[in-house]
Chains A and B, each alone.
Chain A
């Protein structure tokens, strides 16, 4: 029985990595080889020539850069804005607090997909289609981040805040010298989750950007793919180049990513 479990487990594990391994193996094949059987992919000759060609002749590197730039801006600003908002929602008594909380909370119910058509019109009126601003700003409105961070700030004991106040520290100092350091793991999880989400975000860039100078990777991939229909090597190289940064990130930050997912229950 033990062996049965082991074999099933191993099979499941292999099944999950197989598509990725196949992607990598095909991506290092020589172009134009005749593939008559599955075995042909897994035997040499191998070469990195197509990686070189794709990186030199396409705008893929620009798009990787755009994806990084947008994801970093979105992450930094989302976490900063949400932390500031979450902090006062958690610790500061002020007028209309429950109304503000209700407005933010109801935002959780609004799916981005449902407002994306009017959002397009709004962004067009503001003149931010086809720009970095247009890619970044609409992504910052994340009530989920505010609510999750608020619940972490709730866990910081009030005595600590009062001890800073007795020392003459103001609200800003409480925020930067107590709240931020004490909730760093939560902030890190939120940041990494936001980064991955932005890196992979497709629908909004797909609608709001038509100029290929501002494409992000998920946007650029379908555009490139349409040109290569014969051979598998180029598409797989593109897929591999697009995935490697995020896979490396996953390997480094696996713990935080997993924690972030289990804390917030955020879906796709």
Chain B
């Protein structure tokens, strides 16, 4: 039981969300559901990255009354994965919006959200 730590739980949840997202991407026929699968995949990767940067018994990388300025590198968790995820969330949001606008345009053209009706680029 000593293996179950906060970090392991969040890593497992992240991996599970990645797998659910990939399953949705590969099996769903509805275009909106494919976009949701992509968003889940994205979120899972964010959870995994943040939990890898976590260090036990340490606090958020913000210097305040809880973190001594001169001993900061022994008191805070890794700020780099957090900065990366901050970047990745915004880009993921932009890409999801872009995919949804493609879906909207495709629906306007063919009045169908089923991906099996789109065979134009299938070889």
Q: Do A and B come from the same complex? A: no
Q: Which residues of A contact B (CB under 8 A)?
A: none
Q: Which residues of B contact A (CB under 8 A)?
A: none
